[in-house]
Structure 1
Amino acid sequence: MNLRKVSAAAACALALSVTAAACGSDDDDSGDSGDGGSKDSITVGIKFDQPGLGLKEPDGSYSGFDVDVATYVAKELGYSADQIEWKEAISADRETMLERGDVDMIAATYSITDERAQKVDFAGPYLLAHQDLLIRADDNIAKGADLNGKTLCSVTGSTSAQNVKDTIAPKAQLAERAGYSECLDAVANGSIDALTTDDSILAGYAAQDENKGKFKLAGLNLSNENYGIGVQKGDEKMKSDIDAALEKMVSDGSWEKFMDANLGPANYDFEPAPKIGDIKE
């Protein structure tokens, strides 16, 4: 038997050679192998405040397209729904959450950009959205130039409205509100003409029971937003496994079912499911 040098503190290993492994074995199993499939749960970042996409319901449950996608992917990775730990992923915190390992993946209307891809990796895309306008159901805005002279709302910190003013309608008036609900109220009462952000987010609000019939999407497709699932930078296996799950989700019809269930009530004219790795500029 070959014995390596040991400290005095480990002398019990020499005296009790039969149970040496119990006195400090190199094969100690900590239960944290770093392999996602060996863990008891998976932590997923989502939005908590976006109806139709990622919403924490009053009863503590979660709903939305991103939630359905993440649940499907987690199942393909070996986790049941009750093994998912949901965490709120505020837009400004997403890269940091992945870098710190606070979450295993993020599915939170997370547009793939070159800047973000320097810090995290993305599986997907799994949805192609566009910047658009939400307007009153009886209103008509056929093109971006129609916004000249109109008032456009966006949430504080968003660049969506400013982008429209800078590149599409320089005479548009801008208004900021603390949240989407405040913008919606202003559009509904006529004090503001339109709300702008991603069409998928707008469709989620329009699909809410209390908003049905009040609003519609203008359908202007002002930009391309490629939603991906963010993972920690360099985790190629996780990225590859998620890509495979997303491909299966599309091929077995689940993707379209999730879209219809969550955003269909808004008559959202969504794009077909994008091909993995196909980023629309």
Structure 2
Amino acid sequence: MNVHRTGRTTVAVAAAVVLSFTSAGLASGASADVSRDHGEDEITVGIKYDQPGIGLKTPDGTYTGFDVDVATYIAKELGHEPGDIVWKEAKSADRETLLQRGDVDFIAASYSINDKRAEKVDFAGPYLLAHQDVLIRADDDSIKQPSDLNNKKLCSVTGSTSAQNVKDKIAPDAQLQEYGGYSECLTGLENGVIDAVTTDDSILAGYASQAEFKDKFKLGGFKMSNENYGIGVQKGSDLKAKINTALEKMVADGSWDAAVKKNFGPAGYQNEPAPKIGVIVQ
């Protein structure tokens, strides 16, 4: 602030700052945060930008996916129209930091609830129960159970633990293949270079539901782990209770089922029923 301004100007600026902070920072129910400059009706939501069917930023600048639909519904219940939402990319490694710094109001980004994360942030939900699974070619009848992955080329992304978990616990003779991204794994699967891709079934279904992959792949349905997706909020934020109420309403009015079918249906995804709020399946 310029110390040479008149007292009247200084008071006016201070009042404007207080008014802006009160209306924008507190209206959403989030913790007070001076680092984010909201418009009066804006709410900032973290999502994935690169997971088709989950959270995807398209070339024309729009956002699609199950998490986007869930987040849009929640924002509406919090008093924000779709045009009020400021979408922000929430990469897996950045999610806790984004919430702790107050860069976002909440995060919906295939965010599995676990004890380590819950030490740093709070979770509403869960709103989806996913499982580790495999995606295989639609005409492949050689992989009918997890142990059939022995001696098969199994792909996941570099740094992921999914494929290693299969090798360590289920199919020790699986041949691990690490690619830079799941889209590369799917290209390899399509071309016969690899035999299966593994990660959360919701993520696999999202990719397989894309038009270019129609009828080419199928999910194994193996349910090799439980992944309880939650909505991340700042520790101690009263948004947790409000979001839980919104999620319950989304299930009750049929919007949750509609979002699942729209985003995952083309892959034949056999989703679990909507989970109960606060119930974590181990």
- State the Cα deviation string for residues 130-187 of structure 1 (Å, max 9, x = none): 0000000011322111111111000011100001001111111101000111100111
Report the Cα offset of residue 40 of structure 1: 2.3
Q: Which amino acid aligns with 1:130?
A: H
2:227 matches 1:213: no
Work out whether residues 123 and 228 of structure 1, in 8 Å CA contact, stay in contact via their aligned partners in 2. yes
In structure 2, relative to structure 1, the CA distance for the partners of 1:27 and 1:46 (3 Å cut) is closer
In structure 2, relative to structure 1, the CA distance for the partners of 1:28 and 1:224 (3 Å cut) is closer
How far apart, in 1, do the equivalents of 2:137 and 2:226 lie? 23
Work out whether residues 36 and 42 of structure 1, in 8 Å CA contact, stay in contact via their aligned partners in 2. no
Q: What's the C-alpha RMSD, in Å, of the aligned pairs?
A: 2.1
How far apart, in 1, do the equivalents of 2:81 and 2:195 lie? 44
Aligned to 2:179: 177
State, as a whole percentage, how many aligned pairs show the same letter.
Answer: 66
Report the Cα offset of residue 189 of structure 1: 1.1
Structure 1 gap segments, 5+ residues each: 1-8, 13-18
- State the Cα deviation string for residues 239-278 of structure 1 (Å, max 9, x = none): 0000000000000000001111111111110000000001
In structure 2, relative to structure 1, the CA distance for the partners of 1:23 and 1:207 (3 Å cut) is closer
Aligned to 1:16: none
Report the Cα offset of residue 23 of structure 1: 7.6
Aligned to 2:34: none
Equivalences for residues 148-227 of structure 1 within 5 A:
148-227=150-229
Q: SS of the counterpart of 1:37?
A: coil
Report the Cα offset of residue 125 of structure 1: 0.3
Q: Which amino acid aligns with 1:67?
A: V
Equivalences for residues 1-281 of structure 1 within 5 A:
29-33=18-22, 34-37=25-28, 39-140=40-141, 141-235=143-237, 237-281=238-282
Runs of 4+ with deviation above 2 angstroms: 21-30, 36-40
How far apart, in 2, do the equivalents of 1:93 and 1:48 lie? 13
- State the Cα deviation string for residues 79-113 of structure 1 (Å, max 9, x = none): 10000000111111111111111111000000001
Q: SS of the counterpart of 2:172?
A: coil
How far apart, in 1, do the equivalents of 2:221 and 2:132 lie? 9
Aligned to 2:33: none
Q: SS of the counterpart of 1:32?
A: helix
How far apart, in 2, do the equivalents of 1:212 and 1:46 lie? 25
Q: Which amino acid aligns with 1:280?
A: V
- State the Cα deviation string for residues 179-238 of structure 1 (Å, max 9, x = none): 111100111111111000000000011110000111000000000000000001111x11
In structure 2, relative to structure 1, the CA distance for the partners of 1:108 and 1:25 (3 Å cut) is closer
How far apart, in 1, do the equivalents of 2:49 and 2:14 lie? 45
Structure 2 gap segments, 5+ residues each: 30-39
How far apart, in 2, do the equivalents of 1:26 and 1:78 lie? 25
How far apart, in 1, do the equivalents of 2:53 and 2:191 lie? 23
How far apart, in 1, do the equivalents of 2:193 and 2:14 lie? 71
How far apart, in 2, do the equivalents of 1:144 and 1:271 lie? 19
Q: SS of the counterpart of 2:28?
A: helix
Report the Cα offset of residue 25 of structure 1: 8.5
Q: SS of the counterpart of 1:74?
A: helix
